[in-house]
Amino acid sequence: MKKFFIPILIVFLLLTSMSFGSTKLVFTVHWADYQLDGIKDKEGNIVVKGLKQYVEEYMKTHPDVEIEVRSVAFDELLKKIIIDHTGGLPSDVYGLYSLWGVELVKSGILDEPPKDIQNAVRLLFVKPAVDGATINGRIWGVPTEIDNYALVYNKKLLAEAGFKKPPQKWVDLVNIASKLTKKNPDGSIAQYGFAFLAGWDSAVVHPYLALLYSNGGEFLSKDFKECLLDRKEAIEALDAELELFRKGATNTAASVYNFPNGTVAMMIMAPWYETDLKLGFKDKYQETVGVAPIPYLKKPATCGYTWFIGVDSASKNKKQAWDFIRWMTIQTMSNGATRMGELMAKNIGAIPPSRVNLDKFPNELNDLYTQTFVRELIHTIQEPNVAQGQEIKTALMREIVEAWNGRKTAEQALKDAKKKIDEILMENY
């Protein structure tokens, strides 16, 4: 034994000295100030934790790890990631929109998660979120946020016109919307029966995809080699939207941002609009706002999109990064929820995609607004994680907007969209 004592001591010392080096992780997200710093009361005490509080907690229990949180506005985040990369200074951990993830994986920028995390994602997260984190058949990160769309309607306006329940089928929606549209003396619309979300690619494309899926249609072929929007189901889905325009129930000047002031009766909306509605309707919120599944064409369906957290393949601290991610998103706290889930539900106001979290936050997830979105998760189909996803969606958005403006028929618009999208797909698959 004595012979081995010194070598063992040396090895022991070497091992312990290696773990003494402190690691620095850079974590880049797109959240606002209070989402990072926490929500405080008048005295400055933390009422709802922000990301930084969780990070501090982790650093206390892992003193050799230092985590720096950086935040860039959503519009700028992808650009920031790219420029950091070309400048040779990437972050270690990212909060990514799944379509960005596709581009990063294509270029080998993301690190493949450890097997245990991949398995955990497959088992513990809802299907659309798992699909969102899956690129080319493999899982590349842990989903942190899942969003989908539902019909948000003004109960009062509907009741005034005699409708006690929201429409279940699309044809009923068109009917109710036309009856709820009121005009000004000069012909412009004073009250809209319906308003479409617009202004960026997801806004226009996601609700359309919801209708497409509801009509039994497909966006792209399974191997991503072809765009399938020239098929009958796709054209019918767009025509369903155009019915609202044809019946005068909406037009391109309609804005969902007028819903909180009571001049829009119905809209297709996502979970992130809750605070605006509460602010707009104040104490009339409960009696005015209603949420229902999107009225379907053939079967209930809605479209979803996902955010996931991933690690850069050029990071020098991949193991520590994944350890932090595991602690934040997979490990549960004493109350059975994950920390990321708590941050999402209580602070960010989004739907945490891990099943264990869905019943832990009744105030946030089972309330008037969010509960329908959560219930609709089973009908949610994740948008396809296709390469050049945003370019494809923008091309589709432009054609849909042309159709909305009456400058193209549904068939022509989708034909043109398919042509452009097929070109893009050909470059990549």
Partner 1 sequence: MRKSLENRTGAGYSFLAPAIIFYLVFFLFPVAFSFLTSFKRWNMLTPFINAPFIGFKNFLDLLRDDLFIMALRNTLFYAILTVSITLVLALFYAVMINKARFSVLWRFIYFAPVVTPQVAIATIWGYLYNPNSGLLNAILRAIGLKGLNWLTDPNVALFSVILTAVWAGLGGSMLIFTASLNNIPQEYYDAANLDGATGFKEFWNITLPLLKPTLLFLSATGLISAWQVFDLPYMLGRNAPAKSVITVSWYTYEIAFQDLKMGKASAGAFLLFIAIFIITLIVLRLFGKEGIEGYE
Partner 2 sequence: MNRDRKKLFWETFRYAVIIFGAIWMILPFFWLFSASLMTPQELLAFPPKILPSHPQWQNYKEVVKRIPILLHYKNSLIVSLSVTISVLLTSSLSGYSFAKLKFPGEEVFFRFVLSTMMFPVFIFLIPVYYLMRLFGWLNNYLSLITPFIVSGYGIFLIRQFILTIPDELLDSARIDGASEIIIYFKIILPLLRPALATLAILTFIGQWNSFLWPLIITTSAPQLTTLPVGISRLSLAFATTETQHLILAALVLQVIPTAILFLFLQRYYIKGFVLSGFSEI
How far apart CA 328 and CA 315 sit, in angstroms, is 19
The answer to whether residues 95 and 144 touch, using CB atoms and an 8 Å cutoff, is: yes
The entry of partner 2, partner 1, none near residue 405 (CB within 5 to 8 angstroms by kind) is partner 1
**Which one, of 388, 384, 415, 389, lies nearest residue 402 by Cα?**
415
Q: Which is nearer to partner 2, 214 or 302 (CB)?
A: 302
C-alpha to C-alpha distances, 144 to 77, 339, 423, nearest whole angstrom: 16, 11, 32
All residues at 6 or more sequence positions from 179 whose CB lies less than 8 Å from its CB, including other chains: 161, 193
Neighbouring C-beta atoms of residue 132, cutoff 10 Å:
30
How far apart CA 125 and CA 69 sit, in angstroms, is 25
Q: Which is nearer to partner 2, 79 or 299 (CB)?
A: 79
DSSP-assigned letters across all residues of 112-132: PPPHHHHHHHHHHB-HHHHHH
Closest separation between CB of residue 51 and partner 2, Å? 13
Q: Which is nearer to partner 1, 43 or 427 (CB)?
A: 427
- Chain residues that interact with partner 2, rule: CB under 8 A: 28, 30, 32-34, 37, 70-74, 76, 79-80, 83-84, 86-89, 257-258, 260-263, 272-273, 275-276, 279-280, 282
The entry of partner 2, partner 1, none near residue 182 (CB within 5 to 8 angstroms by kind) is none
Strand partners, 304: 148, 382
The entry of partner 2, partner 1, none near residue 221 (CB within 5 to 8 angstroms by kind) is none
Looking at residue 143, its amino acid is P
The entry of partner 2, partner 1, none near residue 30 (CB within 5 to 8 angstroms by kind) is partner 2
The entry of partner 2, partner 1, none near residue 252 (CB within 5 to 8 angstroms by kind) is partner 1
Q: Where are the alpha helices (DSSP H) in 107-185?
A: 115-124, 127-133, 155-160, 170-179
Closest separation between CB of residue 62 and partner 2, Å? 23
Q: Which is nearer to partner 2, 72 or 228 (CB)?
A: 72
Looking at residue 338, its amino acid is T
The entry of partner 1, partner 2, none near residue 107 (CB within 5 to 8 angstroms by kind) is partner 1
- Chain residues that interact with partner 1, rule: CB under 8 A: 78-79, 82-83, 85-86, 103-104, 106-109, 186-190, 198-200, 251-253, 255, 258, 263, 388, 390-391, 394, 398, 401-402, 405, 407
Q: Which is nearer to partner 1, 16 or 188 (CB)?
A: 188
Q: Which is nearer to partner 2, 70 or 138 (CB)?
A: 70
